[in-house]
């Protein structure tokens, strides 16, 4: 039997008055897995990231790598990230308060790929560590948050992920506000 191909698909999650119904329907039943949030910041800012500290962050694009292996799985975690958290819990919640979520890349695979994906992003052209130790307080990664002036390259990331786990399905969801 041939391994399952790496599948690319897009979904639109409307953010607005029908947010809860659309999000629950679109994200239901994803299981556990690893994800990347692609965030956009329009202007330079300073943000306080919990106990990690105060950071100057530049306008541009940010890629945050996370995993969702708890009881809510990807469905619960991605629903959490769709809107800014009123009471930040994770480092990314602080960035999410000022940045727009543009898209989500994810794999609903049984194996954790968070650390490999962080290494992929760090090695991609144009990507640099945005804030040292951001999202990586429980591992040896330099960071789980990366910065680029341009939109991170999906095709480059997809190619690297396919080499690591050719049997896993990788998806990309574009987030659209009021479409």
Lowest mean pLDDT among 13-17, 50-54, 104-108, 165-169: 13-17
* Predicted TM-score of the model (pTM): 0.84
Where residue 27 falls among pLDDT bands split at 50, 70, 90? low
Candidate from 8-17, 111-120, 140-149 with smallest mean pLDDT:
8-17
Helices marked H in 83-123 — which ranges? Answer: 91-96, 114-123
- Please check the confidence at residue 23 and state whether its pLDDT lies above 60: no
Angle, vertex CA 168, rays to CA 120 and CA 123, nearest 5: 5
The answer, yes or no, to whether residue 149 has pLDDT greater than 90, is yes
Winning range, highest mean pLDDT, from 37-41, 69-73, 104-108, 162-166:
37-41
Weakest-pLDDT range from 36-45, 80-89, 90-99, 114-123: 80-89
Exposure string for 26-63, b = 16+ CB within 10 A, e = fewer = bbeebebbbbbbbbebeeeeebebeeeeebebeebbbb
pLDDT tier at 177, thresholds 50, 70, 90: low
Residues of the chain with pLDDT > 70: what percent? Answer: 82
Confidence of residue 43 (pLDDT cuts 50, 70, 90): very high
Q: How confident is the model at residue 6 (pLDDT cuts 50, 70, 90)?
A: very low
pLDDT band at 58 (very low <50, low <70, confident <90, very high): very high
Asked whether the CA dihedral 154, 168, 134, 88 is positive or negative, the reply is positive
How many residues are recorded in the chain?
Answer: 179
Report the alpha-carbon distance of residue 174 to residue 163 in Å, rounded. 23
Question: Taking phi first (over 0 means left), then psi (-120 to 50 degrees means alpha), and beta for anything else, what does residue 50 get?
Answer: left
Mean pLDDT of the chain: 81
């Amino acid at each position: 039997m041939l391994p399952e191909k790496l599948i690319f698909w897009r979904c639109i999650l409307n953010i607005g008055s029908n947010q809860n119904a659309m999000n629950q329907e679109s994200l239901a039943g994803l299981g556990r897995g690893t994800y990347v949030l692609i965030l956009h910041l329009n202007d330079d800012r300073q943000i306080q990231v919990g106990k990690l500290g105060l950071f100057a962050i530049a306008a541009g694009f940010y890629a945050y790598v996370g995993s969702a292996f708890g009881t809510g799985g990807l469905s619960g975690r991605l629903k959490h990230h769709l809107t800014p958290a009123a009471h930040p819990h994770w480092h990314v919640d602080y960035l999410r308060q000022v940045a727009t979520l543009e898209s989500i890349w994810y794999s609903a695979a049984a194996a954790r790929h968070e650390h490999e994906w962080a290494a992929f992003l760090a090695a991609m052209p144009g990507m640099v560590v945005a804030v040292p130790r951001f999202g990586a307080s429980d591992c040896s990664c330099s960071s789980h948050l990366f910065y680029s002036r341009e939109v991170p390259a999906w095709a480059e990331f997809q190619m690297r992920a396919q080499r690591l786990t050719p049997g896993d399905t990788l998806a990309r969801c574009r987030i659209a506000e009021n479409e």
